[in-house]
A and B are shown apart, each in its own frame.
Chain A
Amino acid sequence: MNQAVLSKLKAIVGENHILTEFEDRYCYSFDSTFINSMPDLVIQPGSRDEIAAICRIAYANDIPVVTRGAATGLSGGAVPVKGGIVIETTRLNKVLEVNTSNFYAIVEPGTITQDYLAAVDKAGLFYPPDPASSKMSTIGGNIAECAGGPHGVKYGITRDYVLGLEVVLPDGSIVQTGNLIDGDMSGPDWTMLYCGSEGTLGVITKIMLKLTHKPQAKQTMMATFSAIEDAATTVSTMMASGVIPTTLEIMDNMTIRAVENFLNIGLPIEAGAILLIEVDGDPQAVEKHVQHVLKVCNDCNASSVKVAKTAQEADGLWKARRSVSPACGKLNPTKISEDATVPRSRIPEMVSAVQAIAKKYNLKMVIFGHAGDGNLHPNILSNKHDKEEMARVEKAVEELFQVALKLGGTLSGEHGIGYLKAPFLVWETGEEGFKFGKDVKQAVDPKSLMNPGKMFDYHDDKAV
């Protein structure tokens, strides 16, 4: 990087908050995917105004800017595939306000999701989107990826809670979208433009979020099925029947075996699938919901349904779900986590399709995910050092995308498009939709400096 530019940047944030050493930049060359690409510089600004000043300089000098939260993204969003400056937001980490009379919170983007959730909880309120990565991810990253989680079935995903944002645009100007009252604004809903924008349209510097009441009671259940198809039918039947659980998570046989092997908690290893189901609400409603869930499961051939009697038992059931990642990691080192998602009614078809693809390419594929959202999280367990197998993985992933789209689904339920799924985006949008996306990007970021090479800015040049 040009010395004059570097000293200007140093003047903005101070020497201590710029990383130039090779070894340090190397640590910013990846996220939770398996791709790497080096940034030229890493900057850790301490305020919105510093971010705006950095963007102005980058804009004047045509330097790419990649915003980064905790780099737990699963589509390569925070990887600087075209080099440039990485802006790390984690020094902007304050929960500015939790308003208990008007049910909103104002947070800085680099706040760790869990810290924010704890602040809301302490104030006696509830913010439902709970990605499994909440201990590490930033709330800014959650907005930029439109993160979802196990609560999504009933409560929706991040998008459903964003009232407004403050954004630094590519040229360094600052805009505010939405408002604290109802998130509505005069004109189109710019806020929604930035949900899932993956750093391609500007840097989010302040976030206004809607809050809700804590549920009074909840009940956790585990249903066991000898055939995964029955579990899949249970999900689509349940969702169509009107009682919406807060959580509806599926685990297939291979997942069950892996988790049991890891935890030894007496999971049914012969089962084709299990469903983890949670309902919440006021105590009477919960009781009614439980009865309903039991009925649907039994109608769909569940071999047994266990209702947790104590909070501890509920925790035990959740523990199985939470241990899926590590348990699968023990089977095969590289886990390629897809989140192609289909309408809930098509889940049974998607399950069969995933199984067929695994067989066709001779791959270990597990299914465990937010089935209630139609998000089956097919994960391919592989080894990135095995080139031949990785080639098969690539083919299988493409086929997964095709199937999901054919069933009326999407490439990504929650992990975003980023770099890894960019080549396939046009399959989902169609040529015209893709052009529209490109035009919007062009209008906001005419120089293509914000997270270049991602999403609608993808050019067919696999750089990494």
Chain B
Amino acid sequence: MNEHGHEEWKQQLVKCIRCGTCRSVCPVFKEENNENTTARGKVQLLEGVLEGAVKLTPTLQERFNKCLLCKACVKGCPSGVRTDTLFLSARLTNANKNSLPLAKRLAFKGLTFRKLFDTGLRIGSVMQNVVMKKSDDGRGNQARFNIPGSGLDLRRIIPPLAAKPLRDIVPEKTTVTNPKGRAVFFPGCMLNYIYPEAGKAVVNILKRNNWDVTIPTDLSCCGTPAFTSGDQATGRELAAANLKALAGDYDVVITACASCGAALKNEYGEILQNESDHNAWQKLSKKVLDISEFVVKYGDPALFGALPMKVTYHDACHLVRGMDVSKQPRQVFATVPELDFRNMKDADVCCGAGGTFSMAYYNLSRRINDHKLDNAEATGASCLVTGCSACRMHITDGLSQRNSNMRVMHTAEIIDMAYQNGEKQKKGGKQV
């Protein structure tokens, strides 16, 4: 859906029967208790925009920004109002009218210059200590001072940029003899620059199952940060570049980031406009698999070794509602010997990260996150597993704030560990 698709707005808006069911699912509403945060409130505001009663003011823009884009309202809506596409489109319309803050605009533009972006983050990894300091618990970094336009709360603990990005750790092409298939892996920014170990785990998983893996050098950011903020031009540019980079004779496109996966699989379809791009996307979309889906579909369960850990799992919004992935990781956990998996209450409720949401509304996103952590801790698990690096970052920050010693890991890392143990068992060695 794009800005001028007001006909499309209308089609969605008319479906809203104002029943208020969305009140019962919205994590923001649960904290704020304010109708201006519900899907119903926002849907009616858009109706007002179409009728001319509501203007595209900065206040309106702010109301639409105060949304996690967690899709809980889409899932819960009895009338099937596509609030996700509506709200994205509203952000775009607002952004075009009121323009985005300068810092954001520059940052998104920077994403399109892949090389420059890459160089910037590499330099960043060296220079980060100038502005950031290590947090007391050693889990990450905290800002030394308020960085203008960064939206970084001083309390917030964010992971450092990795000393070496994923691309420096694993080769562009990993080949095996007699491959079962060819996979192209789209690591996305966070696995590349912040959690390369999890990215490496993905490559290991594919390799161990005897698949060829390619990580094309000319991949860009998936574009989610741009198009969810209303900068659709940048989003579209990035999408087109990625489609090109991923076009090749691959059987599957592997993602291990909820947002990248949902973008590649679904959201590109909504932002891409020209026909050839759209066609290319349709071909690609069918091949997109989250790494947990891959393991369920193509993985060899006999490779798993015992992994005696107590784990719980958080469903990232863009995995459970963006890619319909929630059974698969649990299926995998159930298959790994000795893995003690404990489902947490409200596992599929948003952790409060919501992309740029947690920067703009840090305190609110912390309160939402606290419920998640309470539920995770109540399971007695010592490790929280999730398939999304943004959730991982936000949850890790939350655990640090409350001095918890629960660990946070990526689904791929757990799978990789179980495989490693499997190999060691076979060789009669020690487990990790």
| A interface residues, Cβ below 8 angstroms from B | 19, 21-24, 26-34, 44, 70-72, 88, 90-91, 112, 114, 133, 135-136, 325-326, 329-330, 333-335, 383-385
Please state if A23 and B57 are interface contacts (CB–CB under 8 Å): yes
- Interface residue from B20, B34, B36, B44 paired with A72 (Cβ < 8 Å): B20
Pick 15 A–B contacts, CB within 8 A, sort by A.
A23-B59, A27-B41, A27-B45, A28-B35, A29-B44, A30-B44, A31-B18, A71-B20, A72-B19, A114-B24, A133-B19, A325-B17, A333-B14, A383-B14, A384-B14
Cβ-defined contact, A23 with B45, below 8 A: yes
Select one of B24, B44, B79 contacting A136, CB under 8 A.
B24
Contact B54 A26 (CB under 8 A): yes
A29 to B53, CA, bound (A): 12
Closest residue on chain A to residue B12 by CB atoms: A333
Question: Does B17 lie within 8 Å of A335, measured CB to CB?
Answer: yes
Cα A30 to Cα B16 with chains together (Å): 12
Chain B residue numbers with a CB within 8 Å of A28 are: 35
Verify A136–B20 contact, CB threshold 8 A: yes
- Asked whether A329 lies within 8 Å of B79 as measured between CB atoms, the reply is yes
Residues of B within 8 A of A23 (CB): 36, 45, 54, 57, 59-60, 63
Given A90-B33, A325-B19, A333-B79, A26:B48 Cβ within 8 A? yes
Cross-chain contact B23 with A70 (CB below 8 angstroms) = yes
One of A21, A22, A44, A326 near B79 (C-beta < 8 A): A326
- B308 CB within 8 Å of chain A: no
Within 8 A of A (CB), among B1-31: 10, 14-15, 17-21, 23-24
Q: Is the CB of A26 within 8 A of B24?
A: no
Contacts of B179 in A (CB 8 A): none
Q: Are A27 and B44 in contact (CB under 8 A)?
A: yes
Separation of A135 and B53 alpha carbons in the complex (Å) = 31
Our pick among B15, B18, B78, B80 for the contact of A34 (Cβ within 8 Å) is: B18
**B374-413, CB < 8 A from A:** none
B63 — nearest CB in chain A belongs to which residue? Answer: A23
- Find out whether the CB atom of A30 lies under 8 angstroms from the CB atom of B63: no
Residues of A near B23 (CB, < 8 A) are 70, 136
Cross-chain contact B18 with A32 (CB below 8 angstroms): yes
What separation, in Å, do the CA atoms of A325 and B44 have in the docked complex?
Answer: 20
Asked whether A26 lies within 8 Å of B44 as measured between CB atoms, the reply is yes
| B33–A44 CB distance below 8 A | yes
- Report whether A333 and B24 are in contact in the complex, using a CB–CB cutoff of 8 Å: no
Given A23-B63, A136-B23, A325-B19, residue A385 in contact with residue B14 (CB < 8 A) = yes
8 additional contacts, CB 8 Å, given A26-B44, A31-B18, A385-B14?
Answer: A24-B63, A28-B35, A30-B18, A33-B18, A136-B20, A325-B78, A335-B17, A385-B10
Contact of B45 among A26, A34, A385 (CB under 8 A): A26
Check A135 against B45 for contact (C-beta < 8 Å): no
Selected from A19, A33, A135, the residue in CB contact (under 8 A) with B36 is A19
| Cβ–Cβ contact A329 & B78, under 8 A | yes
Nearest CB in chain B: distance from A284 CB, A: 37
**Least Cβ–Cβ distance between B145 and chain A, in angstroms:** 28
Is B78 in contact with A326, judged by CB distance below 8 angstroms? yes
Chain B residues with CB under 8 A of A91: 33
Q: Are B19 and A32 in contact (CB under 8 A)?
A: yes
Known: A329-B15, A333-B14, A384-B14. A24 touches B36 (CB 8 A): yes
- What are the residues of chain B within 8 A of A325 when measuring CB–CB? 17, 19, 78-79
Q: Which residues of chain B have C-beta atoms less than 8 A from A90's C-beta? A: 33
In the assembled complex, the Cα of A387 lies from the Cα of B429 at a distance in Å of: 77
Distance to closest chain A CB from B110 (angstroms): 32
CB distance from B140 to the nearest CB of A (A): 32
Measured between alpha carbons, how far is A383 from B20 in the docked complex, in Å?
19
The winner among B23, B41, B53 for most chain A CB atoms within 10 A is B23
Which single residue of chain B is at the shortest CB-CB distance from A24? B36
Give the chain A neighbours of B60 by CB distance below 8 A. Answer: 23
Tell me, rounded to whole Å, the shortest Cβ–Cβ distance linking B18 to chain A. 5
Q: Is the CB of A329 within 8 A of B45?
A: no
Give A411 Cβ to nearest chain B Cβ, in Å: 21
Kindly state the separation between the CA atoms of A235 and B44 in the bound complex, as whole angstroms.
40
Across the two chains, which residue of chain A brings its CB closest to B64?
A23
B residues in contact with A385, CB < 8 Å: 10, 14
Chain B residues whose CB sits within 8 angstroms of the CB of A22 once the complex forms? 54, 57, 59
Complex contacts, B17 vs chain A, CB 8 Å: 32, 325, 329, 333-335
- The answer to whether A32 and B54 touch (CB under 8 A), given A27-B45, A90-B33, A385-B14, is no
> Which of B17, B23, B53, B80 neighbours the largest number of chain A CB atoms within 10 Å of its CB?
B17
A133 and B20 contact, CB distance less than 8 A? yes
Which residues on A sit within 8 Å (CB–CB) of B14? 333-334, 383-385
List residues of chain A with CB within 8 A of the CB of B41. 27
Q: Which residues of chain B have C-beta atoms less than 8 A from A114's C-beta? A: 24
Contacts of A71 in B (CB 8 A): 20, 35
Contact flags B283-326 to A (C-beta < 8 A → 1, else 0)? 00000000000000000000000000000000000000000000
| A112 CA / B33 CA spacing, docked (Å) | 11
Q: Give Cα A72–Cα B36 distance, bound, in whole angstroms.
A: 15
> Least Cβ distance of A340 to chain B in Å?
19
Distance between B229 CB and nearest chain A CB, rounded to angstroms: 19
Q: Which of B143-177 contact A (CB under 8 A)?
A: none
